[in-house]
Chains A and B, each alone.
Chain A
């Protein structure tokens, strides 16, 4: 329920959200042109456009925060748009930190899919149920966004790793995609970020669950699948230090891990009812 002033903010958010979604789509197309037609200019433009889309997306989230009077982290739409924002954030950090613009070609399609999923959800702003009115909400959900962002980037880099095997020999490919050792390390760094923040998410969630539901852990499907995701990424970390495994197998498990992330986020809500039905 919103007053007129808030309606203005929410309408503005709607426009900004749509602009950013279209922007991500154009960025994705430009990245495809960059790789398919080996067009350097398209690649550079795509990298700049990704930053611009992220900026508009950030403004959209800020405007929604003002319009809703709370952080946009409480329903399917809000979490999906924040999830896409998280992947964009981590992608940009990795792109600039490691001067690795080709990453966008693999992470932007994931961003677009997630923001597309957000667009299909109800954007209605509802008052929070008492269980959600907790300061733990911020810590629990914001850490999940960073975690999912890290996993998204690890997934994108691992895909690059696996494709790198197939594309060896192409000059264009070799120029823009670093060698496999480097990709393995960057994927590991992104997965590390994801795992650390997923651990924060699970622990802050447990603390919150105790206060709201009287139990730290009750094997709710969302809890269970976040644990499955955690176990898979733990497996990934250990696999990397096994003899002869670093590389391809690890990359495959980074991909499997992200499938678990997506199932934890979308699959659990769709197929397995539980107390996390609102997010």
Chain B
């Protein structure tokens, strides 16, 4: 990528450039910003997991103290993952990914189309190379390069060239795209998601939220194993659209949700319910199913209500007055109830199957304890998009981490083949494999030395750059000349690391920035001038070294002469 891209983006008119806008865009798309975001997100997630989420101020005050509770509420730490600041960080991450992918796409396309060609390797040499008179064609297949291209360069030099795993250059780009799709799918999905629940016992019908659909529980079963542990919870149900009479039936069980009318039905949980009866003067005036935890008003007396706080199917009370259930079977059912009048507790007790509560002239009792089912109903229109994002991330990671672009080439000069190869992602492991294969084929392998270019490589090529021209071109987002210039400037290690891996995001570097401001003609002139300057600098350095050497010799000769003169003087004195 080059700063020229930013410059053109930020130009408000044909002449005016806004430097601060350029700087902001440069920062937003930088890897430095991505690294900050990754760490901040990780810290925010960790923070959110340590602070119990979704509690009230009084809860936090009890748990953490007054000041901490106030801070938690002030910064939205009671709901970190839905807080504005968390959403803003995620939005910045999306922005960073978008900029990064948009800026890198043209370079990747160029690399894909023209980056891996023999001409790019006409003069370069990888870190490991071997020279031999033998035809090296067999080595290519040994190194996993199935297809090779043979031919001659313009100067008549014969070559064999092969590339493999080209698709790997798209890995990081695809991974970024997948993360974007996932975040957008998840975020929009969360905003549009609806979630409600219907609970009840077999035979009950209830409206689904505020929709026109009514759900009827046809059957609810709890399948037990021989050891009385639960094997599965299953609900058969029917959904009817009361507005047009459409009706569908389905079955839902744990891990097997049902889908109909654009909704998904999950077997969420279960609990106990019972029929509550109310009579007055011997006549039953109220009868209905009540679930545990549900407050039911007594219609005869406004303000009076009953809550079944807990249900014990096999009730016991020990000597200390502790109550509980021995088994989950209905052997000795007891109901722990609370009676309220105008929200004040007026009674609380455990009630057996044949017992009843008397409140003034009313009698209340419970029968037919049974399990109720709770079905969670959701609509999540963008969930598939998030899932698609996840799949793209996996594909991208697979390409980025395991499909390593690699090149291998050989060229013949003066009857001698130079065989070499390069893979930035394979790195030292690729080099080691190449070394092994070369030695196995009886070709002595050498490691490229900064001072001695391998025989058979071009004289004007500066060694030390492990033959990464094509990939470098991509990373600079420039034509091959820029990369050539880098090679000649001898900034190998710094540039390598600054540029990153093929297909990886590289930091926009200052050199690219400078050249990004120049036209093609200016660029070649500047390059020529730079080359000339470097040549002169090299010559000057060489001359300096030679002069320094001569000065050292002279100093040594002077010292020796002085010592000799001193000895002679001493002898004469004696």
Q: A residues engaging B (CB < 8 A)? A: 1, 98, 126-127, 129-131, 133-134, 181-182, 185-186, 189, 192-193, 195-196, 199-200, 202-203, 206-208, 210-217, 219, 221, 224-225, 227-228, 231-232, 234-235, 238-239, 241-246, 268, 272
Contact = CB atoms under 8 A, between A and B. Distances in A.
A147 to B, nearest CB: 12
A224 B48 contact: yes
B268 A235 contact: no
B535 interface: no
A235 to B, nearest CB: 4
Contact of B186 (A208, A216, A232): A216
A215 B232 CA distance: 20
Contacts of A238: 31, 34-35, 38, 505
Contacts of A208: 255
B477 interface: no
Given A182-B432, A196-B402, 5 more contacts: A131-B254, A131-B255, A199-B397, A217-B186, A272-B50
Chain B binding surface, main DSSP class:
helix
B386 A196 contact: no
B428 interface: yes
B402 A127 contact: no
B168 to A, nearest CB: 12
A134 B53 CA distance: 29
Contacts of B427: 181, 185
Contacts of B312: none
B184 interface: no
Contact of A127 (B38, B42, B227): B227
A242 B429 contact: no
A195 B497 contact: no
B383 A210 contact: yes
A242 B186 contact: no
Given A195-B397, A235-B39, A127 B255 contact: no
B574 interface: no
A196 B398 contact: yes
A130 B45 contact: no
B38 A231 contact: yes
B232 A214 contact: no
Interface stretch (B113-121, B235-243, B387-395, B444-452): B387-395
Contact of A203 (B253, B390, B432, B506): B390
B264 interface: yes
B49 A221 contact: yes
Contacts of B231: 127, 130, 133
B449 to A, nearest CB: 16
B376 interface: yes
Contacts of B81: 219
Chain A binding surface, main DSSP class:
helix
Interface residues of B, number: 59
11 contacts: A130-B230, A182-B428, A203-B391, A208-B255, A212-B255, A213-B266, A214-B266, A215-B378, A219-B81, A227-B45, A231-B41
Output the residue of A126, A129, A215 with the most chain B CB within 10 A. A215
Contact of A235 (B38, B49, B378, B402): B38
A1 B227 contact: yes
B229 A127 contact: yes
The 7 closest A-B pairs by CB, nearest first: A241-B500, A130-B254, A214-B266, A192-B401, A231-B42, A243-B498, A203-B390
Given A130-B230, A243-B507, A246-B497, A207 B255 contact: no
Contacts of A127: 225, 227, 229, 231
Contacts of B227: 1, 127
Nearest to A220: B49
B236 to A, nearest CB: 16
B407 interface: no
Nearest to B197: A214
B504 interface: yes
Nearest to A198: B397
Interface string B420-434: 000000011100100
A241 B501 contact: yes
Interface in B29-70: 31, 34-35, 38-39, 41-42, 45-46, 48-50, 53
B320 interface: no
Contacts of A214: 195, 257, 264, 266, 268, 376, 378
Nearest to B222: A130
B42 A242 contact: no
B38 to A, nearest CB: 4
A155 B300 CA distance: 71
B344 interface: no
Interface in B48-107: 48-50, 53, 81
A221 B55 CA distance: 16
Given A127-B227, A242-B497, A185 B428 contact: yes
A211 B227 CA distance: 26
B512 to A, nearest CB: 13
B262 interface: no
Given A1-B226, A272-B50, A242 B38 contact: no
B35 A235 contact: yes
Output the residue of A199, A202, A244 with the most chain B CB within 10 A. A199
Contact of B45 (A202, A231, A243): A231
Contacts of B428: 181-182, 185
Contacts of B380: 216
A7 B66 CA distance: 55
Nearest to A213: B266
B233 interface: yes
Contacts of A134: 255
